[in-house]
Structure 1
C-alpha cells in the first residue's frame, strides 16, 4: 500500500481516536484501567466491561495508530524521500511518543485538566502532520502566487485561532466550567468576574472571531480561480456554523455526553478541513 493511502487511513483513525477520547473523558471512563499503564487493572487484557471496556478500547485504537505511524515513518526513511519529508517524519514520530508519555501521565496523576488539554493539542498537531503527508503525496497542489499568498496567511491565522479555541474549550470542559455561563448571557454582571466566566467568555469570543474570519477568507477565496480551495472554505464555514449550534445545545443540555462529543467531533473536523486547505497551497 502506498504511503499516501496509509496516511489517509491513519488520518481517519486519528480523528476517530480524538473523538473517542472525548467520549472517554465525557463519560468519566478515563480511569477504567485504574492508575496503571500500559497494563489495565494489572492485566494485559482485562475483564472487558463498563468503564474498563471503554478505556481499554481507547488504548487499543492508540496502539493501532502507533503501528500505522511506524509504517509511515519506515516508508519515508526507506524510500527516496526529500529532506523535508524526513524532518516532518521525525517530528511525527516524536509527537506520537510524547503523546504516549502524556497519556501515561494522565493515568498516573488521575486526569489533571491541563495535561488532558495538552494531550488533545498534541493530537491536533499530529493530525495536521498526517494531513500534510497525505496531501504531499497527492498530485493536487496550488502553486503560490501573489494572490493566494495572502490567502495562505489568512488560513494560517485561522489554524492558530482554531487551535487556541479548541485547547481553551478542552480546559474549560475538564475543569467543569462549561456551565459558568448560559447559552447567551454570562453572569449577572455586564463584565464576567469569575475565572470560569472569563474563560468561557474568551472561548466564545474566539469562536465568533473564527467564524467571521472563515467567512471573510471564504469571500476572499472566491476571487481566486481554484475551485478545490473554494470547496474547502465553504465546507469549513458550514461546519463552524454547525459547531456554534452544537455549542449552544451543549449548554442547553447541561453538557450532555452526546453534545459534548459532537462538539469535539465538529471542532476536530473543522480543524482538519482548514489544515487541509492550507496544505493545498505550496511554495
Structure 2
C-alpha cells in the first residue's frame, strides 16, 4: 500500500472514529456517566484499567476512543504534509486536531472541576466541529471529489453559485450550530421533560416560558426556523443547479435530515420515562444532527470550491 492509499484510508477511518466519539459523548451525557471515573483524569477511579461498573466503562471508553482519534489524526496530518500539497486538506486536518484537543481539554476540566451547563454544552459543539472537519477531509479522497479536481485541472468552467445563495449557506450553517448548542444545553440542564407532548408543549401551543419549559420550547422554535431556512435553501438550489449537481444533492439531503431530526426530537419527547427507548431516541437524534451539520459544512466548502478565484484555485497553484 502506497502513501496516497494510506492517507485515503487514514482519512476515512478518522471520520468514522470521530463520529463514534460524538455518539459516545451523547451516550455519556444521556446515561449520566460523566463522573463514572470520579473526578480524576486521565486515571479512572485511581486505576489505569477501570472497574467493571457500567458508568465507568462508558466514560473510560469515551476517553480511550478520544485518545485513539487524536493519535490517528496526528498520523493523518503527517501523511497530508508528505503526500498531499493541497491547502484545504491541511486546513481540515489541522482544524480537526485543534477541535479534538480543545474538546478533550474541556472534557478533562469538566471531570476535574464542576462546570456549568453552558460550558458542558460547548463540549458537544466542539466534537461536532471536529467531526465535520474529518468528514470534509475524507470527502476529498472520494471518487467524485477526485473527478471534480481533474475537471478543475483541465480548466473546465465552474458555475459559481449566486452571492445570495453563498451567504445563505454560511448563515444557515452557523445558525444550525446555535440550534445544536441549544439541544446540548437541554440535555445538560436535564430539561428534556420541560415540554411533555409534541407538537404541543404541556398541552399548550405557547406555554409559560420559564425554567425547563422555556429552554425546551426555545429549542423547538429554533429547530422550526431551521426547517424553514432549509426549505428556502433547497428552493434556491433547485432554481440555480440541476438535479445531478452536488449542491442540489446536498441541499436536498440537508432538508431531509432536518425533517428526520425534528421527528426524532418528537420521538425523544414521546419516550421520556420509557426504559431503553429514551436512550435509543437520543442516540438517533445525535446521529441525524451530526449528519445534518456535516452536510451543511460540505455545502459551505462547495460554495468556496465553485469560486475559481478563491481558496481552491490558490491551493492548486501551490501544489
Q: TM-score, normalised by structure 2?
A: 0.80
The counterpart of 2:103, out of the listed 99, 105, 112, is: 99
Q: Distance in 1 between matches of 2:48 and 2:206?
A: 54
The answer to which of 130-139 and 99-108 deviates more is 130-139
The counterpart of 2:219, out of the listed 185, 203, 227, is: 203
Q: Which 5+ residue runs of structure 1 have no aligned equivalent?
A: none
Q: Offset at 1:231?
A: 2.2
The counterpart of 2:49, out of the listed 29, 32, 45, is: 45
| CA distance 1:146–1:272, change in 2 (3 Å) | closer
| Aligned residue pairs, count | 283
Q: Which 5+ residue runs of structure 2 have no aligned equivalent?
A: 308-319
Instruction: Show the counterpart of 2:80.
Output: 76
| CA distance 1:14–1:88, change in 2 (3 Å) | closer
Q: Offset at 1:109?
A: 2.4
The answer to which of 177-186 and 213-222 deviates more is 177-186
The counterpart of 1:232, out of the listed 250, 267, 275, is: 250
The counterpart of 2:208, out of the listed 175, 179, 192, is: 192
Query: Does residue 246 of structure 1 match 2:268?
Result: no
| CA distance 1:2–1:158, change in 2 (3 Å) | farther
Any idea what SS the aligned residue of 1:62 has?
helix
Q: Distance in 2 between matches of 1:57 and 1:88?
A: 26
Query: Does residue 274 of structure 1 match 2:310?
Result: no
Contact 1:186/1:192 (<8 A) preserved: no
Query: Does residue 221 of structure 1 match 2:243?
Result: no
Any idea what SS the aligned residue of 1:259 has?
helix
Instruction: Show the counterpart of 1:159.
Output: 173
Matches within 5 A, 1:5-154: 5-79=9-83, 81-82=85-86, 85-110=89-114, 112-137=116-141, 138-139=145-146, 140=148, 145-154=159-168
Contact 1:178/1:200 (<8 A) preserved: yes
Q: TM-score, normalised by structure 1?
A: 0.89
CA RMSD of aligned residues (A): 2.5
Instruction: Show the counterpart of 1:178.
Output: 192
Q: Looking at both structures, which has the greater relative contact order when contacts are Cα pairs under 8 Å and sequence separation is at least 6?
A: 1
Deviations 1:156-186 (CA, angstroms, capped at 9, x unpaired): 1221121000101101111011122232334
Contact 2:265/2:285 (<8 A) preserved: yes
Deviations 1:77-102 (CA, angstroms, capped at 9, x unpaired): 33452455545544332322212211
Work out which of the two has the higher radius of gyration on C-alpha atoms and give 1 or 2: 2
Contact 1:31/1:110 (<8 A) preserved: no
Any idea what SS the aligned residue of 1:131 has?
helix
Instruction: Show the counterpart of 2:315.
Output: none
